[in-house]
Amino acid sequence: MSTAYLVLADGTTFEGKHFGHPGTAIGEVVFNTGMTGYQEILTDPSYAGQLVTLTFPLIGNYGVNQTDFESVRVQASSLIIHELCELPSSWRSSATLDSFLAESEVVGIAGIDTRHLTRYLRARGVTMGIVSSEHEPDVLLKLLGAASRYETVNYVQQVSTNAPYVWPSDSDEPSYRIALLDCGVKFNILRSLAALNAEVTVWPSWSSAEEILATDPDGVFLSPGPGDPSLLGDIVNNVNMLIHAKPTMGICLGNQLIGCAFGGHTFKLPFGHRGSNHPVKDLESGRVIITSQNHGYALADKFTDPGIEVWQINLNDGTVEGLKHKTLPIFSIQYHPEASPGPTDSIGYLAKFLKMIDDNRK
């Protein structure tokens, strides 16, 4: 392995070893505390524009397979790890992580003290960074200084589908027809809805509410996605029309879009919620569930519309984890019930959405 560098915006430099594709990548440096799921993390559209640090020390030990993709390509700009496993062991493995990133033209860096880097990010907050196998640190710092900041880029436009497509139900005769607004959907959301007998039409993020409602879906689903929600005013306007017309569920960014449509606003978390062990409390039942999360922004708990209310909170920092409307068939959650990776404690909320559609039909 050749030498590679990670340089942060304040000049802090880490030296490591290059793997994957040779090159240079710029993005927001974030960390994920999950012990497994690196393939799902890399292909999750919500990581677009980010250099992902994994806190678990050994990565690549079960290789890469053909079924754990969460989108059609690697979405993260780079992968930062401590130790790369070059000889994976799994019956499902079809390639090494090194060859997978090389084929995907994504630069990786190994040999980094990722726990030190994580403590840095927890203390100072996420920061812009640059990973390279091509240049020395002084050159990299200049390149980083000239780059666009993460919060100024509309990544939703980059990851959304370019045209509508249908994800069929697992049944020949689906019971539900769902319109999904694609701000960065994960495949396992589509797989999970299909397993519940739903046919999903996936719409580009810029689709108008009129265009979607003209197809008369049974319900609307608002997907997760990357970037700063404050850049998505046009989408919020469309969401405002959709949620007043059809039963609606939102996940992650979808939760924030619903909150903004009811007069709320978002703010940036110091280092985000990214991992598979985030505790969430349901304020109605008192139940606590362990959730998979991946987001850098959160909703403030103030809304101009009194019809919307907070029904779930994060037990670590008290941030909003779920919204529901008092009279309309609308609810949302900030975490990922479909997991991939992570626990499936909350998978039942997808069935709750479909039951809400059934109740609305009655």
Helix (H) or strand (E) holding 248: strand 248-251
CA distance 137 to 172: 57
CA atoms within 13 A on the CB side of 351: 7
What's the one-letter identity of residue 279? P
CA distance 81 to 16: 9
CB atoms within 10 A of CB 359: 10
Write out the catalytic residue numbers: 252, 336, 338
Q: Cβ distance 226 to 156 under 8 Å?
A: yes
CB atoms within 10 A of CB 67: 9
* Phi, psi of 89, deg, nearest 5: -135, 100
Cα distances (Å, whole numbers) of residue 219 to 166, 245, 248, 305, 353: 15, 9, 6, 22, 9
Contacts of 175 (CB under 8 A, 6+ apart): 169, 197, 198, 354
CA distance 15 to 359: 58
